[in-house]
Structure 1
Amino acid sequence: MLRPAEPGDLPGIATLMRASVLEVFPRFHDQRETEAAARYLTVPDPVLIEDGTYFVHEAAGQVVACGGWSTRDKLYTGSGSSPTDDRLLDPATEPARVRAMFVHGDWTRRGLGRAILARCVTAARAAGFRELVLMATLPGEPLYRAFGFREVARTRVRLPNGVLLGGVSMAYPLTG
């Protein structure tokens, strides 16, 4: 069942995020990179839940997929804080952000990520945004490509402990 996330979901979201990274990242990253991602990329952002833009998919009472979009300036978790993270974006001139997409390793390739992205597209379009952007990790890149996101640039994301993770800046038009 796909539904908006609630504050009580935070522990289940955190558990899912960590499990997803530990299960999926080793196919794309070495042990040091996987451990750094599990530490720094798996902190749920309660602001997304407060804003009503974050979703969870539950099965048998457990969160097996999560993700959402944001009207705020923060692009991703893990690189530290910025003074503009909470700034509201202007839908007429700035893209909304897709944030914190995770699927449990046992639940991949079942359409859960695609369903969350479709919900993000619908909601961001209704809010007047013209584009979605995201910073894909290497495990997420195939899903985003298959959904229709286009690569903007390849980059390396520096985590707080200095580890660099491969990333892909991607965009999806909401118009036309």
Structure 2
Amino acid sequence: MIAAVGLRAATRADVPAIGELMRRSVLDVFPRFHDDRATASAARHLTVPDTVLIDDGTYYVHEEDGDVVACGGWSKRDKLYTGSGPGASDDRLLDPATEPARVRAMFVRGDWTRRGLGKAILARCVRDARAEGFRSLVLMATLPGEPLYRSFGFREVRRTRVPLPDGVVLDGVEMDYPLTTS
């Protein structure tokens, strides 16, 4: 019997399981918020694991009995979300004193939602980004993720539209979270 592992840093060996979890999560959860076309587009464009996050040591998985059931992390680099396509400054390291870290690629398998896994990953992101000197976090929430981020304490900055490479546009919410207390 394989024991439960819980939350841990992701490794390159996790990439296939992370990709599968991302796709499964979108297909399970997005239909509650989006039509079939938007769900299919998100399943294609938002579910590519970003190995830079894994190599930076800022991406985490929650593993239960050998299955990756949740994943997510933060980035000290300029890219805000995967579906944006490649950008010229994606790999630029952010200045922790003046720029917010980015919460990235949060996914929970549909049958594992509402068990605190997303909040545990966010708490790890807060702890680790704060330890690196960052003063705030930002993220681009899709509609399925918005309730989690709000309940954690993220604040809405503005509602926006998120264009995907195939022309589908998703509703999104830019959000932030202060890491400093004054």
Q: Give the TM-score taking structure 2 as reference length.
A: 0.96
Secondary structure of the 1:83 match is coil
Give, as a single letter, the amino acid of the residue that structure 2 aligns with 1:144.
Y
Identical aligned residues as a percent: 76
Aligned-partner Cα distance in 1 for 2:84–2:73: 19
Give, as a single letter, the amino acid of the residue that structure 2 aligns with 1:105.
G
In the alignment, which of 11, 22, 40 is matched to residue 16 of structure 2?
A: 11
Partner of 1:131: 136
Gaps of 5+ in 1: none
Say whether 1:27 aligns with 2:35: no
Runs of 4+ with deviation above 2 angstroms: none
Partner of 1:37: 42
Secondary structure of the 1:78 match is helix
Secondary structure of the 1:88 match is coil
Secondary structure of the 2:137 match is strand
Q: How big is the shift at 1:64?
A: 0.1
Indicate the RMSD between aligned Cα atoms, in angstroms. 0.3
Partner of 2:3: none
Say whether 1:154 aligns with 2:155: no
Aligned-partner Cα distance in 2 for 1:51–1:80: 20
In the alignment, which of 166, 171, 177 is matched to residue 172 of structure 1?
A: 177
Instruction: Give aligned pairs, total.
Output: 176
Q: Give the TM-score taking structure 1 as reference length.
A: 1.00
Gaps of 5+ in 2: 1-5
Partner of 1:111: 116
Aligned-partner Cα distance in 2 for 1:27–1:95: 30
Q: How big is the shift at 1:23?
A: 0.3
In the alignment, which of 75, 97, 100 is matched to residue 102 of structure 2?
A: 97
Secondary structure of the 1:34 match is helix
